[in-house]
Structure 1
Amino acid sequence: MRILVLYSCLILLLTSCGRQAYVFTSFHEPANEGLRMLYSYDGRRWSDLDTVLLRPSVGVQQVMRDPSMVQGPDGTFHLVWTSSWRQDKGFGYASSKDLVHWSTPRWIPAMQSEAAVNVWAPELFYDEATARYLIVWASCIPGRFEKGQEDDSNNHRLYYTATSDFQSFTPPTLFLDPGFSVIDAVIVPRAVNDYVLVLKDNTRPERNLKVAFGETATGPWKQVSAPFTAQFTEGPSVVRLQDHWLIYFDAYQTKTYEAVQTKDFIHFEKSAVQVPADHKHGTIVPVKRKVIKSLLKHFEKT
């Protein structure tokens, strides 16, 4: 617990001293170009690098949607993404030391043992408690769960795999069955034995964002909340700023990018943010300012 408290204090110190910055993985529709990235010095006002950092080359459709990234303890950035709408039973993966030079993309066959019709929105999380990376995604397995509001071809549940080296992976395991079609999950650590899961209820009456709570990064997840966003919202991205969290999301019907602010994941209020046009959802990663300085220098941005 002392380590977690010291880590939180360090993050606050870096933020207050102005040395903290953020990158936001992104893509543009129709998702055939590849990885894009935003950057920010305050977590609220974002600028676009306006370039493609990594091009998609794996999967049936060879697209790059929902790019999710974390920085590991050794400084390596790990990236996963949706490589196809349908037919794929896995997701794309690549890594980088500097966000400029990337490993050759690989396809990870996460659901080869299942009759899944898709693998959507893999989300990366480094679990300090177990020193493993978790990858959580949504898949539809026709006939596996009660139909509910959705057709079998759209009745998603969340699954996960774990790895310590991105070479070997645990078998796919059910991560969350809330009794309805669910996609787009983000794990948020608050303290020791205290985690929040931000998720999208993908059923036709809902199509909005909710939260659930658990004592470990793999659940079990309880107390699924009422929605805290309007309908037609998805792709949550969460960043901690001092004593509160911002939850960004894609309001895809109005074609706007919005955010809410919360201190407890119970009470939410709209928050003003500035996000470039055409940005589609990824993940927000805290980095040192020198990372952004290096990116701007490489791509000759001022």
Structure 2
Amino acid sequence: MLSSLRTIGLVAALTAALLPAVPASAAPPFAGYAFFYFTGESSPIGEQIYVATSNGNNPLDFREANGGRPILESSLGELGVRDPFILRSPGGDRFYLLATDLKINGGRGWDAAQRTGSRSIMVWESTDLRNWSRQRSVQVSPPTAGNTWAPEAFWDARRGTYVVYWASKLYASSDPGHTGSSYNRMMYATTRDFVTFSPAQVWIDPGYSVIDSTVIEHNGVYYRYTKDERNNSSSSPCSKFITAEKSSDLLSPSYSFVAECIGKATSSSPGLSAGEGPTGFKSNTEDKWYLFIDEYGGRGYVPFETTDLASGRWTMSAGARLPASPRHGTVLPVTQAELDRLNAPPAPVRASADGLVAHWPLVSSAADVSGHGYDGVVAGRASFSSGSLLLQGGHVQLPDNLLTGVQAVTVSADVLVVPAQQTPYFLYGFGNTAPGGAGDGYLFSTGDTYRGALATGNWATEQGVGSGQALPRGVWRSVTLTVGSGVGALYLGGVEVARSSGVTRRPSEVGSGITTANYLGRSVYASDKPFLGRMKNVRLYNRALTAAEVAALR
């Protein structure tokens, strides 16, 4: 699964010594590119991480992987992530993915995000680009910072450490509420493991706002590309575009000027209305470099190219086919094996002999005790107490693709609904968030009229079963939905309360086997009302249990 929340044996390596850089001749040949990005504030799921893969070694021809759905979703901090940056370790055997902890869709707005926003970066690790470690939040900015935006990293062989850099507004220490004026400058810290970081220092401060630096190294020279964030005016005509500098020392406080206004349209060449989030990479097959620049408020990423980094001259690439709505991210050269793994369909879920896929007791964690490793992550206002999960607006984020290959299904849980619960509300949801469209859909149960439904597209494709009665409040009740052989059934307290012969669609048809929005305590859509109360003892089966088996669940 592309965004599995299971730890994949990375913990022990966090403290291991980093391997030395592998000579290019020893590295497997690159056969294509992986493009990690987010899609902007308008996405129905909010800001999360997507990936697209290239058509072989063509750096201008990409298709969405994972069915065009997110591969990673945030369960920490702001519950949204932007500006994903991925790098390969110098030994070539590990990947680190960094992202901004920021959610504008449903968040507090841009001003608050720069005054009292997150001072942390989000980090994931992988050895294969397919399976990812559990997300962690690492605070890197000082208390005077109001935000921590667009983190990137570069292996500094001279110092034997990673240099991580990002943009922050810094406020006076005498202004703890960050109410005064400030501007973004580029900060940096060093790390060897992306767990422990040195104190942050200023890297770029021209006296006005700059953000979104990225670096390309060639023949011992570091070319740095940064967005000039000043308001556009006649006195600063290159504002809102990219400035290029160079240095032989990555951390030099004084880079030499190369060019400005990169990406801006001129009378003789096409360009952008404005640009940010540059990501640069070298062609796998020739001495050519590409700089993708995000035309925010416009087309999203637009590719530019050059054969001479020192010249500072970049030309808009022709004939590019990029994924839909790509925003600030990273293009990473990858091997054929890595490309194949990213493009592979999800594997069918694992199940025990009795059909049990996962069992989440929710006593003190969201761990799956079935032995299949489908651990969940608690997000938002949720906590464990009194032997159950207390949900006060939070939820449990479950791994992706829990319905892959599932021809029939049973979902059972013990729930306690608080008297103040607003309606309509959802107990759980397995599926995807894109409204309508081929390959989407969901499986859910609601509590206000106590019903369950399965859809393979939007609401018009729903087939369900309803009891016509609301769940009782203030008391524990077991709720069970079964779907199989064209029949849907609902049980309350182990007793059947509704049955329908009109549920002919199979769970495996939801998202064509790809589901990236699987939750306990909420629906697949963030705008729907969450479940408020307590939950425990949640089970998922890949078959429809019989009435006797449901009655025997404890």
Q: TM-score range by the shorter chain?
A: 0.7 to 0.9
Distance 1:21 1:186 in 2: 21
The residue correspondences of 1:160-199 to structure 2 (distance < 5 A) are: 160-192=188-220, 194-199=221-226
Which of 76, 79, 85 is the matching residue for 1:58? 76
Change (3 A) 1:287 1:153: farther
For 1:27, the equivalent position in structure 2 comes to: 38
Q: How far is the alpha carbon of 1:153 from its aligned partner?
A: 4.9
What amino acid sits opposite 1:246 in the alignment? Y
For 1:263, the equivalent position in structure 2 comes to: 307
Q: How far is the alpha carbon of 1:154 from its aligned partner?
A: 5.7
Q: How far is the alpha carbon of 1:66 from its aligned partner?
A: 0.1
Distance 1:114 1:34 in 2: 26
Alignment deviations for residues 1-50 of structure 1 (CA, whole Å, 9 cap, x no partner): xx99x63x778x93xxxx52111111122273522101112211111111
For 2:143, the equivalent position in structure 1 comes to: 114
Give the alignment's Cα RMSD to 1 decimal. Answer: 2.6
Alignment deviations for residues 266-285 of structure 1 (CA, whole Å, 9 cap, x no partner): 22211122212211121111
Change (3 A) 1:256 1:106: closer
Distance 1:294 1:270 in 2: 31
| Greater RCO, 1 or 2 (C-alpha within 8 Å, sep 6+) | 1
For 2:94, the equivalent position in structure 1 comes to: 76
Change (3 A) 1:232 1:285: same
In structure 1, runs of 5+ residues without a counterpart are: 145-150
Structure 1 segments of 4+ aligned residues over 6 angstroms from their partners: none
What amino acid sits opposite 2:101 in the alignment? S
What amino acid sits opposite 1:198 in the alignment? Y
For 1:239, the equivalent position in structure 2 comes to: 281
Point out the more displaced range, 173-182 or 24-33. 24-33
What is the DSSP-based 3-state SS (H/G/I as helix, E as strand, rest coil) of the residue aligned with 2:130? coil
For 1:147, the equivalent position in structure 2 comes to: none
Q: How many residues align?
A: 284
Which of 128, 152, 161 is the matching residue for 1:98? 128
Tell whether 2:240 aligns with 1:207: yes
**Alpha-carbon contact 1:53-1:99 (below 8 Å) kept:** no
Q: How far is the alpha carbon of 1:172 from its aligned partner?
A: 0.2
Q: How far is the alpha carbon of 1:152 from its aligned partner?
A: 6.1
Which of 25, 34, 51 is the matching residue for 1:37? 51
What amino acid sits opposite 1:76 in the alignment? R
Which of 248, 254, 263 is the matching residue for 2:292? 248
What is the DSSP-based 3-state SS (H/G/I as helix, E as strand, rest coil) of the residue aligned with 1:126? strand
Which of 250, 255, 266 is the matching residue for 1:217? 250
Q: How far is the alpha carbon of 1:259 from its aligned partner?
A: 1.6
Distance 2:292 2:180 in 1: 29
Distance 1:168 1:89 in 2: 15
Distance 1:65 1:292 in 2: 23
Distance 1:244 1:226 in 2: 20
What amino acid sits opposite 1:22 in the alignment? Y
Tell whether 2:316 aligns with 1:281: no
Q: How far is the alpha carbon of 1:68 from its aligned partner?
A: 0.4
What amino acid sits opposite 1:237 in the alignment? T
Distance 1:47 1:299 in 2: 17
For 1:292, the equivalent position in structure 2 comes to: 339
**Alpha-carbon contact 2:300-2:327 (below 8 Å) kept:** no
**Alpha-carbon contact 2:138-2:195 (below 8 Å) kept:** no
**Alpha-carbon contact 1:33-1:52 (below 8 Å) kept:** no
What is the DSSP-based 3-state SS (H/G/I as helix, E as strand, rest coil) of the residue aligned with 1:282? strand
What amino acid sits opposite 2:322 in the alignment? V
Distance 2:131 2:314 in 1: 39
Alignment deviations for residues 195-245 of structure 1 (CA, whole Å, 9 cap, x no partner): 100110011111111101111122232216321122421110111112121
**Alpha-carbon contact 2:241-2:260 (below 8 Å) kept:** no
Q: How far is the alpha carbon of 1:114 from its aligned partner?
A: 3.3
Q: Kindly name which structure, 1 or 2, has the bigger radius of gyration based on alpha carbons.
A: 2
Distance 1:35 1:256 in 2: 15
Distance 1:164 1:69 in 2: 15
Change (3 A) 1:285 1:131: farther
For 2:447, the equivalent position in structure 1 comes to: none
What amino acid sits opposite 2:128 in the alignment? D
Distance 1:67 1:155 in 2: 22
Distance 2:47 2:292 in 1: 23
For 2:472, the equivalent position in structure 1 comes to: none
TM-score between the two structures when normalised by the length of structure 1: 0.86
Percent of aligned pairs with the same residue?
25
